[in-house]
Structure 1
Amino acid sequence: MDKFLLLLLLLGPLPLVFLQAQALVCTVCRSFKEGHCLRGKDNCTANSVSSCRTRDFFFFSDRDGWLYDHTELDCAMFCLSSNLFYEQNKISSYCCKNQDFCNRYQGKLMIKNIY
């Protein structure tokens, strides 16, 4: 019986090691533009219900259509890839979980007429 308890004590933390290995590290940047993080550069850790997220922000111009403004990189709970429209603004979201920093440098230099 003592050997069984010792085995349980030794193997007890093992599941925690596997749970920690599932953590995903993501890039954080509050304003990414022209290949550089201009504000808020950091990292975050996504868990089993969150993902790394890239959000591209656009504004609408009557002359040129949808113009890229900037990108935000972060961790998001229950992330869904989507296109959201609000008046003259559009936010395109992309979510990933395939590897650490999978949302790194997803910003665009200049995008026109995105539908």
Structure 2
Amino acid sequence: MDKFLLLLLMLGPLPVVFFQAQALMCTVCSSFKDGRCLKGKGNCTLNSVSACRTMNIFIFSETDGWLQDHTELDCQNFCFPSQLYYEQVKVSTYCCKNQDFCNRYQKFVNKEIY
């Protein structure tokens, strides 16, 4: 009987270890331009209400139209996909939480938006 109790005590925490959800990771960069992170490179971990965010910032030029200025990558609570315009600036926001580093920068490909 003592061996049975000891075995139960030893096996007790195992289901908790096997069934814990893995936290998702996102890429962080406060200024991504020309294929590389210029400032603030790192990672962040999602919590239950956050998502990986990609924000593309564009500046309007009379001769060339909308030109990408830079991209920001991070974790954001209550992330909402959007396109906002303010005078000569456009900010396009994409959100994802389908896999680790889903916000890793990819040049203007169709991003999965949740």
Task: Work out whether the TM-score is over 0.5.
Answer: yes
Cα distance in 2 between the residues matched to 1:25 and 1:103: 10
Which sections of structure 2, spanning at least 5 residues, go unmatched? 109-114
For 2:106, the equivalent position in structure 1 comes to 106
Cα distance in 2 between the residues matched to 1:40 and 1:18: 30
Higher relative contact order (CA 8 A, sep 6+): 1
Percent identity of equivalent pairs: 64
Cα distance in 2 between the residues matched to 1:51 and 1:30: 16
Q: Number of residue pairs matched?
A: 102
Deviations 1:80-109 (A, max 9, x none): 11101111101001111111011112356x
Larger Rg: 2
The code of the aligned residue for 1:64 comes to D
For 1:90, the equivalent position in structure 2 comes to 90
Cα distance in 2 between the residues matched to 1:13 and 1:91: 45
Q: How much is the aligned-residue C-alpha RMSD, in angstroms?
A: 2.4
Cα distance in 1 between the residues matched to 2:30 and 2:37: 8
TM-score (norm 1): 0.76
Cα distance in 2 between the residues matched to 1:81 and 1:10: 43
